[in-house]
Amino acid sequence: MKITALETIRLAERPSLVWVQVHTDEGVTGLGESWFGAEILEADIHGRIAALILGEDPANIEALNRKMRPYAGYCGSGAEIRALSAVDVALWDIAGKVSGKALCDLLGGRCREEIAVYNTCAGPGYVSQSSDVRPGNFGLASSASQSKQPTEGGHGFNAPVAGAEFQDLHGFLQRADDLASSLLEMGIESMKIWPFDFADSANDGLTINARDMKTALEPFEKIRLAHGDRMRIKAELHGLWTLPAAKAICRELEDYDVDWVEDPIWMDRTAQLPLLAQSTRLPIAGGETLGGLGQMQDLIAAGGIDHPIIDVTWGGGITFAKKAAALAESRALPIAFHDCSGPITLTASTHLALNCPNVREQEITRGFYYGWYHECVDEMLPLADGKISVSGKPGLGLSLQPGITDRPGAIVRRSEA
């Protein structure tokens, strides 16, 4: 079998996402995905990667992953590694289809048949206009204007069907207790929120004043008052804060017994992580913005990180993610696979979460899962009673929706051998 073509697809309504399809001379096609800077990733796939792998055997995934790395040897989560990640996922999809096995079975079998999820509380329009992760691109204006009348337990959150608009970011800012109730009714017992992003001082992260601290803590207080310890709460800080400010925030969050504090500082400042960990009893999570085994090794070796996080379609693909999970396992650390992007990232992550022994739960964004994933792919991962699984079909087990390349505004590029 030989790789005959690389095809990329972008949609006007999803400008941060790019899909790649790897075509072969035996008619087997693999599907991959990455996100943020989609035009740059598309350019790298066609301008650099295509010349490296066209005509090659797609079964040689390890060799092709190494071949696709930038020549200078740098690994991070820059454009070249994200482009590589998308193609790597597609190669594993081909391998699964050829073997007739679901990806999680191909990787060594399942440690579990399903896994609990935690909900990242974003709405369907979150970070949808560009790659800028700031409140102005959080989709809040549409969240406020599109809020529905109460249809589920009187909370104002829609029933869990395709097309439902879970406005969860607006929900945690305004009605965090009701949002938690809605999740608990679906069997989801863990949620992640990021109210500190809206503090005036988040722009420079040097300090946080008492007023902003009090406002940011209100959602945590509402959830605890309404639900006690039934809901596990994760606090996302998006790496916005200096070490002194992160210490101050963690001190206040201790009163709410949060499940973890994610990316409290820039995660490439690994030397500061032990200093932060020594100042708080809260677990620290992070690492999704890192790529390559070197950066993950540095993160884990520095100490202070309790839950390393891997983004499969940013950090180096499935080839990388499986090894990074093993690095964490060697230190008896649980790993988490990031998802707040697209349906292929969630699917690849779920296969890995079923396969890897050191995974406690899988991240989802129900605003994406129910809001628009079904518009992109022909089959949704089974999600019920707070747990997610895979279909069992070979490879990833899903394809892009028929006719997606013919939609208005679709940008399709193809490189052939």
What is the total count of domains within the chain? Answer: 2
Which tens digit of pLDDT belongs to each residue from 210-261? Answer: 999 999 999 999 999 999 999 999 999 999 999 999 999 999 999 999 999 9
Which tens digit of pLDDT belongs to each residue from 34-44? Answer: 999 999 999 99
Whether residue 143 is predicted with pLDDT greater than 60 in this model: the reply is: no
Same-domain pairing of 310 and 408 = no
Tell whether 241 is covered by a domain.
yes
Q: Identify the band that residue 135 occupies on the pLDDT scale cut at 50, 70 and 90.
A: confident
Predicted model pTM: 0.94
Which tens digit of pLDDT belongs to each residue from 353-370? Answer: 999 999 999 999 999 999
Tell whether 68 is covered by a domain.
yes
In this structure, are residues 1 and 26 in contact, taking their beta carbons and an 8 Å threshold? Answer: yes
Same-domain pairing of 377 and 403 = no
In this structure, are residues 18 and 41 in contact, taking their beta carbons and an 8 Å threshold? Answer: yes
Which tens digit of pLDDT belongs to each residue from 45-62? Answer: 999 999 999 999 999 999
Tell whether 394 is covered by a domain.
no
CA angle 316, 70, 24 (to 5 degrees): 65
Same-domain pairing of 139 and 95 = no
Q: Identify the band that residue 158 occupies on the pLDDT scale cut at 50, 70 and 90.
A: very low
Same-domain pairing of 9 and 121 = no
As a whole number, the mean pLDDT across the chain is: 92
Same-domain pairing of 239 and 327 = yes
Q: How many CB atoms lie within 10 A of CB 330?
A: 10
Tell whether 185 is covered by a domain.
yes
Same-domain pairing of 82 and 184 = no
Tell whether 393 is covered by a domain.
no
CATH code at position 262: 3.20.20.120
Tell whether 72 is covered by a domain.
yes
CATH code at position 411: 3.30.390.10
Same-domain pairing of 112 and 91 = no
Whether residue 162 is predicted with pLDDT greater than 80 in this model: the reply is: no
The strand ranges marked E within 223-364 are 232-236, 260-262, 284-286, 307-310, 336-337, 362-364
Same-domain pairing of 287 and 170 = yes
Same-domain pairing of 90 and 114 = no
Angstrom distances, CA of residue 355 to CA of 40, 109, 111, 185, 208: 32, 6, 5, 28, 41
Same-domain pairing of 184 and 62 = no
Q: What is the pLDDT of residue 163?
A: 66
Tell whether 240 is covered by a domain.
yes
In this structure, are residues 286 and 267 in contact, taking their beta carbons and an 8 Å threshold? Answer: yes
Same-domain pairing of 15 and 162 = no
Those residues with Cβ within 8 angstroms of residue 205's Cβ, 6 or more apart along the chain or in another chain? 240, 241, 242, 245
Whether residue 160 is predicted with pLDDT greater than 50 in this model: the reply is: yes
Instruction: Give residue 48's domain range.
Output: 3-100+399-416
Q: Identify the band that residue 146 occupies on the pLDDT scale cut at 50, 70 and 90.
A: very low
Which tens digit of pLDDT belongs to each residue from 250-309? Answer: 999 999 999 999 999 988 899 999 999 999 999 999 999 999 999 999 999 999 999 999
Q: What is the pLDDT of residue 251?
A: 98
Tell whether 184 is covered by a domain.
yes
Same-domain pairing of 92 and 138 = no
Between 12-16, 316-320, 347-351, 385-389, the lowest mean confidence (pLDDT) is in 12-16
Sort strands 115-120 and 190-193 into parallel, antiparallel or unpaired: parallel
Whether residue 159 is predicted with pLDDT greater than 70 in this model: the reply is: no
